Amino acid sequence: MMGRNYSLLEEKFNGLVIEWNSRINLVSRKKTDVYDLIEDSKIFIDYIDFSANPKIMDLGTGGGFPGIVIKINNPGANMILVDSIMKKITAVCEIISNLELKKISAVCARAEDLNKNNVFKHTFDYVVSRSVGELKDLIKWSRGLLKTGGKLITLKGGNLDEELKHAMKIKYVKNIDVYDRGDRKVFVVSLKNE
């Protein structure tokens, strides 16, 4: 457990992800635990205001990262986890049920299709995403999902100078705050009102 203290729910979540991963590819097959992914997911918590029980969409949740970890650590948050692969959503739904988490659900959908129906239009205070796509695409997909004043938060690694430069040129981007987190960066994107 890398010398860190984890809650009983985080430990149970780790075990469930590893168990499901033996059947379907939720995370790298080489992983014997997902504590590093739990730590990554906790980074998002630093950039979210939980005082008003926010509505949060986890875009490209995979095995429930960062969404389930955010929910475990902030039970008042309202979470919707989205992934385009049905078997991952099935696994995540079972994991949520096993953890007995409330006010959290999972939906099978492609990010680019979420704005086509108005089900989630301007619903979320935050859209979170962990290394799912290019920043410009995440901004485009999040635009119609976020409430006025809502924010996109993403964690990415590598050289992101070009990605950031292209994202800053998008006309409805108000501001992008960048925070260094070791070898990765957190981008907190605010959009202009429509």
Specify if 129 maps to a domain.
yes
| pLDDT digits 0-9 by tens, 86-127 | 999 999 999 999 999 999 999 999 988 887 777 888 999 999
What is the mean predicted confidence (pLDDT) over 54-59? Answer: 98
> Which domain, by its residues, includes 141?
8-191
| pLDDT digits 0-9 by tens, 106-116 | 999 998 888 77
Specify if 132 maps to a domain.
yes
Specify if 172 maps to a domain.
yes
The strand pair at 184-191 and 173-181 is best described as antiparallel
The domain tally of the chain equals 1
Specify if 136 maps to a domain.
yes
State what percent of residues in the chain have pLDDT above 70: 98
What pLDDT was estimated at residue 194?
A: 62
Specify if 2 maps to a domain.
no
- How far apart are alpha carbons 29 and 41 in whole angstroms? 19
DSSP-assigned letters across all residues of 19-73: HHHTTS-SS-TT-S--HHHHHHHHHHHTT---TT--EEEEET-TTTTTHHHHHHH
Specify if 72 maps to a domain.
yes
Contacts of 86 (CB under 8 A, 6+ apart): 108
Query: Which residue is listed with tokens 């040129």?
Result: 169
Specify if 35 maps to a domain.
yes
- Dihedral of alpha carbons 163, 40, 174, 107, sign: positive
Specify if 82 maps to a domain.
yes
pLDDT band at residue 1 under the 50/70/90 scheme = very low
pLDDT band at residue 159 under the 50/70/90 scheme = confident
For residue 184, the domain's CATH number is 3.40.50.150
pLDDT at 147 over 70: yes
pLDDT at 157 over 90: no
